[in-house]
Chains A and B, each alone.
Chain A
Amino acid sequence: MYFSKKNLFLYISLFIILLFILLSIFAPFISIYDPTHINMSEILLPPSGQHFFGTDELGRDVFARVIYGGRVSLLVSFIAVFISISIGTILGLIAGYFKGIIDAVIMRFVDIMLCFPVFFLVLSVIAFLEPSIMNVMVVIGLTSWMGVTRVIRAETLSIKERDFIIAAKVQGLNNIVIIFKYILPNVFSPIFVSAVLGISSAIIIESSLSFLGLGVQPPTPSWGNILTSGKDYIMFAWWLSFFPGVAIFLTVLAFNMLGESLRDILDPKK
């Protein structure tokens, strides 16, 4: 990996992602306003030097809300992806390594899960539990691991035929050690690519859930619910939905471009 024009997309997307992560981490130092502070004397003000992104229908600073909302949205998607990647990787490794009946059972389970519209599953579970940050993260994680399992299984199948794995077996190492110490490090790049791409879908799912009133609940700001509450004012206070919309758009785009670039770079065939 070297600095060249070819990797331009990669650098732009890394820059955007780092920017949003830093803004989220240092939110209290960047914005002087409290994202949940209601100020009825300053409602629906357009963007200005004082309120960079204007204020909303309750006089809250939209800039502060977008930054703090980024904290929640990014946290939700990172943890959701951590859950889905963990499940997907472990099942994929087991299926690919042991083959036979275990493999058949796991892969049929994947096939079945892939038949469901993911959004239907997420909606039904969230509606029964209550829509809290915790539940949103867990449910998104539990319903989006199937793709990872397929990829990791395929990789594991080819790696396990390689000489160093056979050597490890001859040494009498047990299966768990072989899987985690010898195979896992070799499937790291597809895991990484899936994780990066998964984050962008998780952000989109969270915002769609918020639109239906089942995402992260107000007053805690998330990009999804700021955008959703701003939609009623779309005709005369564009800034309420524009800025969170752009934040979601840029982040999702950046994670996607990063994922695609990484796939090209890490793929030894090209």
Chain B
Amino acid sequence: MSSYILIRLIGLIPLLLGITLICFIVIHLSPGEPTDVLTALNPKASEMAREKFRKMYNLDKPLHIQYLIWLKKFIMLDFGNSFSQDRRPVLDKIFERLPLTLYLNISALILMFLIAIPLGVFSAYYANTLFDKVTTFFVFIGFAIPSFWLALLCMYYFGVVLGVLPISGIHSYNFESLSFAGKIIDIGKHSIMPVTLSVFSSLAGISRFARNSTLDVLSEDFIEATRARGLPERSILFNHALRNSLLPIITIIGLSIPALIGGSVIFESIFSLPGMGQLFYQSVMMRDYPTIMGILVIGAFLTLIGNLIADLLYMIVDPRVRL
């Protein structure tokens, strides 16, 4: 089993290289130069100053050399300094934002699976009945409503009309003065809307997938055999069918992470949450190249970790893989 994990880890290296290469290409094929941003606000910036910037950031070297220089620094975990006013190291900026984004996305992911899998399994069991149709429609609503619009409506209704939920930030102004339990409740209250909405908007994919996968398993002979043995339906569905239908569902955990992280740009902007998505949006608007590249790589890296976790879970659920 440990050799299997080792092989998987080694397999990640070419993927990581590819990820860095694509980030680099995406940024450097774009028109305009980073020096434009640095000097745009300062009309007095002379050609000499631009030249100095180019030298400082190695922009005067050919592209493949630039890539190698960047990669070498990147391996040493030096992402360079941000182009924004503060000029702080990119890695520091990302890491102070990452915990919030991780917290929100992991909560969303867990909640999503707790809701989507039972919905999908029951939809499959009661396929083509009213229950199935209603759930299908419900999960599609979540997918089809533009999430930012729904978020604004909820903010208006729960935050302004009812006044029961906070509408921005991750904690209140008096956060520091709260007791430990009070702090947890405060953060919890602030995360209800963003987490629920991001779950609602991505429910469709997984619950439909769970439904189709369970439908396939339910039509197999061994299910008929367990029924013939007189096992109760509950046991057939959860002990025998679910164990098999879970396998394909697990593999899409990893695949659903990029969508969640991507969605955090929207939710973090709407709810003014100081996470990685918000930082990414700010960096994009300021053309802060080093930060954009840093976040792109870290975002992709999180997906790789997600895929790895999915693989490990797969081994736990399916003993055949362990052999």
Interfacial residues, chain A to chain B (CB-CB below 8 A) = 6, 108-109, 111-121, 123-125, 127-129, 200, 204, 207-208, 211-212, 224, 227-228, 231, 234-235, 241, 245, 248-250, 252-253, 256-257, 260
* Cβ A235 vs Cβ B160 within 8 A: yes
Are A256 and B262 within 8 A (Cβ)?
no
Chain B residues within an 8 Å CB radius of A118 = 258-259, 262
Annotate B280-301 by CB proximity to A: 1 below 8 A, 0 otherwise: 1100110100001001100111
CB atoms of A120 and B285 under 8 A apart: no
Partner of B281, one of A115, A116, A200, A212: A212
- Closest A residue to B292 by beta carbon equals A124
Interface-facing stretch out of B61-69, B117-125, B141-149: B141-149
Interface residues of B (CB under 8 A from A): 14-15, 18-19, 22, 26-27, 30-32, 128, 140-141, 143-149, 152-153, 156, 160, 204, 208, 255, 258-259, 261-263, 265-266, 269, 280-281, 284-285, 287, 292, 295-296, 299-301, 303-304
Cβ-defined partner of A252 (8 Å) among B128, B143, B156: B143
The SS class assigned to the A binding surface is: helix
B15, A108: Cβ atoms under 8 Å?
yes
- B259 and A109: CB pair below 8 A? no
Count: A-B pairs, CB below 8 Å: 131
In the complex, are the beta carbons of B19 and A256 less than 8 A apart?
A: no
By secondary structure, the B interface counts as helix
A115-B258, A116-B296, A125-B30 known; A234-B146 Cβ under 8 A: no
Docked-complex contact A115 and B304, CB < 8 angstroms: yes
Q: How far is the CB of A171 from chain B (nearest CB, A)?
A: 38
For B259, give its contact among A108, A117, A211, A249 (CB under 8 Å). Answer: A117
Known: A123-B265, A128-B30. 12 other contacts (CB 8 A): A115-B304, A116-B296, A120-B261, A120-B262, A128-B287, A204-B146, A208-B148, A227-B149, A234-B156, A249-B141, A249-B145, A252-B144
For A108, list chain B residues within 8 Å (CB).
Answer: 14-15, 18
Name which residue of chain B comes closest to A122, CB basis.
Answer: B262
Please name the residue on chain B nearest to A231 by beta carbon. Answer: B152
CA distance A111 to B140 in the complex (A): 27
B144 x A253 contact (CB < 8 A): yes
Known: A117-B299, A249-B144. A234 touches B292 (CB 8 A): no
B27 proximity list for chain A (CB < 8 A): 124, 128
How near does chain B come to A56, taking the closest CB pair, in angstroms?
Answer: 16
How far is it, in angstroms, between the C-alpha of A256 and the C-alpha of B26 when the chains are bound? 31
B148 contact set on A, CB distance < 8 A: 207-208, 211, 228, 231
Q: Which residues of A contact B304 (CB under 8 A)?
A: 115
Whether B26 and A124, one on each chain, are in contact in the complex, defined by CB atoms closer than 8 angstroms, is yes
Which one of A116, A117, A227 lies within 8 Å of B146 (CB-CB)? A227
16 CB contacts below 8 A, A to B, read: A111-B15, A112-B18, A112-B22, A112-B300, A114-B303, A115-B300, A116-B258, A117-B262, A117-B299, A119-B263, A128-B30, A204-B143, A234-B153, A245-B149, A252-B144, A257-B140
